[in-house]
Amino acid sequence: MDIVQLLIVGIIVGSIIGLGAIGLTLTYGVMKFANFAHGDLMTLGMFLAFFIVADIGLAGGKIGPLSFGWGMLPAALFAMAGVAAIALLIDRFVFRPLRVRGGGFITMAIASLGIGIGLRAVVQMIWGPSPTRYTSGINKAVTIFGEVKVEPDQFVIVALTLVLAAAVYVLLYRTKLGKAMRATADNPALAEVAGIETESVRRWVWVLGGALIAVAGIMLALQAQLRFDAGFNLLLPLFAATILGGIGNPAGALVGGLIVGVSQEVSTEWIDTGLKPGVPFVILILMLLVRPRGLFGSSV
């Protein structure tokens, strides 16, 4: 395929990874543990939207050339609220007791692995194991120049990622809550002494991370399809992007996601497509060898 085409696909895939990694890096930075259920929360997000547009049938009229209708708007809001609520429940009943006990970041990581296994089982139980799509119609690609084609949905994916990343930036650096989040990430004990309610900050981080990952999940389903293990399979690229950008650094996570996405897609120009999943791994290992604190520094 044309290298420019691969580059564009890479930017689209990279946007999805980047948006997912922003949520991951926030929880990693504030909660201090690697959340291995993050990919499965992403899967949950895509299926909660499916519940509205397909199970309930609120698809709505088609929006211009896009593959989905107006129903996707309430569906996305429902998915964001739903994933945020589930994340809060998990924190309340699993992570907080472990935190209070002083279980350490490794215990929480193993617990998150167990939660991920359970979430995948629940998604399969409700929506079945076979892949599906939001709508059956095809999304006709438009030619932008030469041989390069882009689907209208993919414009939305990239644009929405940029808008949400900007919103996260404003939240973190222009609001009091954002300041409290950054303080808790830097030094939880000091933040608490300074009068910040760190438990409340943690809850907001779960809400924010959950909402972002839900949107990333819907995007992933638009770009590929809905599958019970779609999010789990994206876990390695998500972590590679997070570590590349520096843990706890949202801007870094977005850049990291784009680097992972682009190198993964462009690499297929030279290597077998079957080796593609190895690319994020190689990036991760190289990064750990050369600069384990990430390109832009890490708060962990």
Partner 1 sequence: MDALLIDLAPLLSFHGGLHWTVGFLTTVAIFAIVALGLNLQWGYTGVFNFGIVAFFMVGAYTSALLTLPPPDPGFEDYLGGWSLPVPVGWLAAMGAAGLLALIIGLPTLRLRRDFLAIATIGIAAILRSVANSVEGLVNRARGLNGVPRFLEELATGEDYRWVMLGIALVMLALVYLVVSRLTGSPWGRVLRAIRENEDTARASGKDTVSFRMQSFVLGGMIMGLGGAIFAHRVNAIAPSSFTDLLGTFLVWTMLMVGGSGNNRGAVLGALVVGFFWFGVPLLQEDLPDFLGDRVFMIRQLVIGLLIVGFLLRRPAGLLPEERRISRFVDELRTESAASRLWRRLRGQHLTP
Site residues, partner 1 (CB under 8 A): 33-34, 36, 94, 97-98, 103, 105-107, 109-111, 113-122, 124-125, 233, 235-236, 239, 243, 272-278, 280-281, 284-285, 288-289, 292, 300
CA nearest neighbour of 161 among 257, 265, 296, 64: 257
- C-alpha to C-alpha distance for 191 and 198, rounded to whole angstroms: 7
CA nearest neighbour of 13 among 212, 157, 226, 228: 157
CB of 233 to partner 1, least distance (A): 7
Closer to partner 1 by CB, 106 or 194: give it. 106
Question: Is 152 or 278 the residue whose CB approaches partner 1 more closely?
Answer: 278
**CB of 144 closer than 8 Å to CB of 4:** no
Q: How far is the CB of 109 from partner 1 (least distance, A)?
A: 6
Residue with Cβ nearer partner 1 (137 or 297): 297
Is the Cβ of residue 53 or residue 243 nearer to partner 1 in the bound state? 243
- E-state strands within 174-266: none
Shortest reach from residue 36's CB to partner 1, in Å: 7
How many helices (H) and strands (E) would you count in the chain? Answer: 13, 2
Cα–chain center distance at 145: 30
Taking the complex as a whole, the smallest distance from the CB of residue 77 to partner 1 amounts, in Å, to 28
Residue 269 near residue 6, CB atoms below 8 Å:
yes
Q: Are 174 and 186 in contact (CB under 8 A)?
A: no
Task: Tell me how far, at minimum, the Cβ of 101 lies from partner 1, in Å.
Answer: 9
Compute the least distance from the CB of residue 272 to partner 1, in Å: 6
Burial of residue 175 (CB within 10 Å: 0-12, 13-18, 19+) is exposed
Residue nearer to partner 1 on the CB measure, 94 or 150 = 94
- Number of neighbouring beta carbons within 10 Å of residue 210: 28
Nearer to partner 1 among residue 80 and residue 247 (C-beta): 247
Cβ 59 vs Cβ 74: under 8 Å: no
